[in-house]
Amino acid sequence: MSKENKPFAQPQVEVIEGSVKPGAMPSQANYQADTLLSSTPMDSLKELGAGNRAEDGFGAGVWHNNKKVSGIWTKAETRNSWLALTDLGWKKIYSGSDSAVVAMEMLGAQALEKQSPVNVLIENDQIIEIYVW
């Protein structure tokens, strides 16, 4: 597949006095903002190899306090649920048991509906514990 045929290739545009001119790439700042707004749960998996973070280590859970749930994603697959958290992006809910996934998804939905602050323990890039206030 050629580079031009890839579905994620961005069209080249240039903004001149409020108009769009084909042929120039958008600025990096605009591209990053657009990318963040259109991110998906799978983007968090791609970021695992991008850099070393504290929660990437095995057995080294990190608490993130006073966050808000900004989105919920789930699919009709076994134990496949994600929460979008402010400043953290999409995080997978721990998939160790069916009941854990259901319970944490319900807590996330409650926090999203009420816009309540949450504290989450993230280990291996998965939410393994959540408190809703």
Per-residue pLDDT tens over the stretch 43-85: 655 655 555 455 455 567 999 999 999 999 998 888 999 999 9
**What is the average pLDDT across 10-37?**
47
Is residue 68 domain-shared with residue 102, that is, in the same domain?
yes
The predicted-structure confidence for 108-125, as pLDDT tens digits, reads as follows 999 999 999 999 999 999
Query: Which residue range is the domain that position 59 belongs to?
Result: 47-132
Number of structural domains the chain divides into: 2
Q: Is the pTM of this model over 0.75?
A: no
Q: Where are the beta strands (DSSP E) in 2-101?
A: 13-16, 19-22, 62-67, 69-74, 81-85, 89-93
Is residue 18 domain-shared with residue 74, that is, in the same domain?
no
Is residue 33 domain-shared with residue 51, that is, in the same domain?
no
Residues 6+ positions from 129 with CB-CB distance below 8 Å: 61, 120, 121
Query: CATH code at 64?
Result: 2.40.50.110
Unique residue bearing structure tokens 């996330």: 108
Is residue 55 domain-shared with residue 120, that is, in the same domain?
yes
Residue type, 77: E
Q: Report d(CA 122, CA 89) in Å as an integer.
A: 12
Is residue 54 domain-shared with residue 111, that is, in the same domain?
yes
Query: What pairing do the DSSP bridges indicate for beta strands 89-93 and 81-85?
Result: antiparallel
Q: Where are the beta strands (DSSP E) in the chain?
A: 13-16, 19-22, 62-67, 69-74, 81-85, 89-93, 118-123, 126-132
